[in-house]
Every structure is written in C-alpha cells, then in structure tokens.
Amino acid sequence: MLTVTSLCKAVPGGRVLFQDLNLTVGKGQFVAITGESGVGKSTLLNLLAGLDRADAGSVVIGGIALEPLQDDALTRLRRDRIGFVFQAFHVLPHLDLAHNVALPLVLQKVDAHEALAKAAGMLEAIGLGGRGADYPRQLSGGELQRVAIARALIHRPGLILADEPTGNLDPETAAKVMALFVDQVREAGASVVLVTHSPVSAAVADRVLHLTRDGLVEHG
C-alpha cells in the first residue's frame, strides 16, 4: 500500500531530520512509529500525506508516486485514498456530528442523503448512534476522537494516517478509543501508519518502528 524509498528531509535552518529513510506498509498492515519529541514523526506523517515535500526520495501510495503530483492532484489523492486522525481531533465546531462524519463523502461528490445515511451508520458503529444532530461541544474528548475515527474511515480509504490519536485522552479513554480504532480499521481492511508516544497504543500494531536520526529501526 505504501512504499517510502530513500526519503530525505531537513528543516529550515539546515537541521537534517532524516536521511535515506525507507518504509514499506503492506495492504491491511498496521505500523506504529515511535520516537523522541522533535525527531520528526509529525513531519514524516506530513510527507506521507503529501502536505509537505521531501528534499529527496519517493513516496508511493497505492502505486501512485507523490513527487510528480501538483497540489490539486495531491489533494484529490488525500480525498480518495487517505484518512486522517489527529491528536487534537479537529472536528468542525459548526457542523453537527453527522455532517462532520459525512464530509469526506460529499467532498467526493457523493449524494448528500446517501452520505448522511452512511454517516449515521458509522456513528452507530462507534457507539454514538442517534446523536448525529449533536454538536462537537456537547461531546467529551473520547467521543470527539471516535467521531474523528468515523470520519477517517467513512470513505473506505486504503491508508489511515494517525498522529497521536490518544495524546489528549486519559489512559482509560485512550485504551477504549484505540480498541475501537483497531476494530474499525481491521474491518475496513485499511493500512495504518500510527505515530505515537504511547507504548499502549503502539502495542496494538503489527509492527513497531522507532524513528531516530539514523532512520527507522524495527522493534522487537
């Protein structure tokens, strides 16, 4: 699903984050990436999502190389093939839960009624059935992250990129959310790249990689 070859990236100021980094994530594989703060985990995720450009190397998602693509093409790639889960949830405060979850489908120009119907089903699946008309500020942190997970999966992407999805949650809630996350992605058959500090979160992965200045090192 995802192939990264000889990826190089330095930040403004000249500090090299990583050099000649390689990564392969198979279809349906769950990969966790850990590392110290500032080592470049979020930057790596941005490169995989096409939100940033590498200095050298290549990223191929579903057989499509990112480097030659312009901004619009990268945007469409994200829209159709990638789902995102953020640490800060990033649920739109002015849309109710159903519309928030349905957003990726309407971006693909799916009929609104069909999209909302699917959103209702997703909310049911994550334990928030019947609350489609509620607004984000009515939810707890854990509930918001579940909504974000539903939004990330509703359009059946092949790849999920998750940046510290439990970073803002207490341990008990984090465990429940991770369990739900794993269930949903397994059911969808999506590949996952999860960036996390949490060993508990990393433990659910098929592979755990540690990002250092020298590149990705496999754990265990």
Partner 1 sequence: MGKRGSLPLVAMRWMIVSEWRTYPSRTVIAVLAIALGVALGFAVHLINGSALSEFDHAIQTVSGDADLQVHATSAAGFSEALYPQLARVPGIAKVSPVVELHAQAQGHVALTILGLDVLNAAVVTPRLLGRRSDGRRDPSDFFSDSAIFLSAAAMQASGRRVGQSIDITSMGHSASFRIIGDLPGIPAGQAIGVMDIAAAQWRFGQLGKLQRLDFRLAPSADRAQLSSALALRLPLGAEIVTRHNEETRSDSLSRAYRVNLDMLALMALLTGGFLVYSAQSLSVARRRPQFALIRVLGLERRSLVAQIFLEALVVGAVGALAGLLLGLGLAAAALHLLGSDLGGGYFSGGVPHLSFAPGAAFAFGALGVAASLVGGLLPARDAARSQPALALKNLGDAIDPRVRPRIRLALLFVVLGAAGSLAPAVNGLPIFGYASMALLLAGGIAMMPWLARTLLWIFLRRPISNVSLSLAIQRLWGAPSQAALALSGIVASTSLMIAMAVMVVSFRGSVEAWLYQVLPADLYLALDDSGVGGGFDAVTQNNMRHVEGVAWMGFMKETPLRLAPDKPDVWLIARTVDGPAGGLPLLSPGLAVPPNDIPVWVSEPAAGIYGIHPGDHLVLPIAGVTPRVFVAGIWRDYGRQQGSIVIDSDTYTRLTGDARRSIASVALKKGALADAVITRLRAVLPAGVADHLSVSRSQEIRSKGIAAFDRSFAITYLLEAIPILVGLIGVAATVSAQTLARIKEFGMLRHIGVLRRQIVAMLIAEGALLGAIGGIAGIGLGLAMSQILIRVVNPQSFHWTMDTRIPWLLFAIVIIALIIAAGGTALFAGRRALSTAAVTAVREDW
Residue 39 touching partner 1 (CB under 8 A): no
Of 101, 97, 89, nearest in space to 134 by CA: 97
Which of 15, 27, 79, 213 is close enough to bind partner 1 by CB under 8 A?
79
58 vs 98: CA distance, rounded Å? 37
Which of 3, 19, 75, 212 is close enough to bind partner 1 by CB under 8 A?
75
Shorter beta-carbon distance to partner 1: residue 78 or 207: 78
Shorter beta-carbon distance to partner 1: residue 74 or 175: 74
150 vs 213: CA distance, rounded Å? 34
Residue 65 touching partner 1 (CB under 8 A): no
Stretch that binds partner 1, among 10-18, 20-28, 82-90, 200-208 (CB under 8 A): 82-90
Of 99, 103, 86, 79, nearest in space to 158 by CA: 79
Tokens standing for residue 26: 């198979």
Are 175 and 144 spatial neighbours (Cβ–Cβ below 8 Å)? Answer: no
Sheet with 215-218, side-by-side order of all strands? 82-85, 159-163, 191-195, 30-34, 207-212, 215-218
Residue 53 touching partner 1 (CB under 8 A): no
Are 65 and 5 spatial neighbours (Cβ–Cβ below 8 Å)? Answer: no
Residue 78 touching partner 1 (CB under 8 A): yes
Stretch that binds partner 1, among 11-19, 75-83, 126-134, 202-210 (CB under 8 A): 75-83
Q: Looking only at residues 115 through 134 of this chain, which bind partner 1 when binding is defined by CB under 8 A?
A: 115
Q: Looking only at residues 175 through 204 of this chain, which bind partner 1 when binding is defined by CB under 8 A?
A: none
Residues at the site binding partner 1, with contacts judged by CB under 8 A = 46, 49, 51-52, 64, 71-73, 75-81, 84, 86, 88-95, 99, 103-104, 106-109, 112, 115, 151
